[in-house]
Structure 1
Amino acid sequence: MERLFGLDMQLIADTLLTAISVFVLFTLASYLFFDTVRDVLKKRQDRIKSDLDTASKEKSDALCYKAEYESKLRDADKEVEEILSAARKKALQNESKIIDEAKEEAARIIARANGEIELEKKRARDEMKKEMIQIATLMAGKVVAASIDEKAQNLLIEETLNEMGDETWLS
Structure 2
Amino acid sequence: MFIILLLLLRKFAWGPIMNMMKEREEHIANEIDTAEKNRKEAEQYLEQQKEEINRAREEAQQIIETARKTSEVQGEEILSSARAEAERVKANALAEIEREKDLAVQELREQVGTLSVMIATKIIEKELDEKEQEKLIEEYVKEAGERL
Match of 2:98 in 1: 118
- The structure whose RCO (Cα within 8 Å, separation 6+) is larger is 1
Residue 88 of structure 1 deviates from its aligned partner by 1.1
Match of 2:22 in 1: 42
Of 64, 69, 92, the match for 1:89: 69
Residue 109 of structure 1 deviates from its aligned partner by 0.8
RMSD of equivalent CA atoms? 2.1
Give distance in 2, aligned partners of 1:55 and 1:84. Answer: 43
Q: Secondary structure at the match of 1:111?
A: helix
Q: Deviations over 1:90-120 (max 9, x none)?
A: 0111011011101111111111111111121
Once the two structures are overlaid, the 10-residue window that deviates more, 28-37 or 123-132, is 28-37
Q: Give the residue type in structure 2 aligned to 1:139.
A: I
Give distance in 2, aligned partners of 1:50 and 1:73. Answer: 34
Residue 77 of structure 1 deviates from its aligned partner by 1.7
Match of 2:119 in 1: 139
Structure 1: segments with no counterpart, 5+ residues: 1-18, 149-159, 161-171
Of 52, 60, 77, the match for 1:72: 52
Give distance in 2, aligned partners of 1:33 and 1:131. Answer: 142
Give the number of aligned pairs. Answer: 129
Residue 34 of structure 1 deviates from its aligned partner by 2.6
1:103 paired with 2:83, answer yes
Identity among equivalent pairs (%): 26
Q: Give the residue type in structure 2 aligned to 1:119.
A: R
Q: Give the residue type in structure 2 aligned to 1:63.
A: E
Q: 1:128-167 alignment to 2 at 5 Å?
A: 128-146=108-126
Q: Give the residue type in structure 2 aligned to 1:29.
A: L
Give distance in 2, aligned partners of 1:144 and 1:47. Answer: 141
Give distance in 2, aligned partners of 1:124 and 1:50. Answer: 108
Provide runs of 4+ in structure 1 moved above 3 Å.
Answer: none
Residue 32 of structure 1 deviates from its aligned partner by 2.6
Q: Give the residue type in structure 1 aligned to 2:16.
A: T
Give distance in 1, aligned partners of 2:82 and 2:52. Answer: 44
Residue 25 of structure 1 deviates from its aligned partner by 3.3
Once the two structures are overlaid, the 10-residue window that deviates more, 50-59 or 30-39, is 30-39
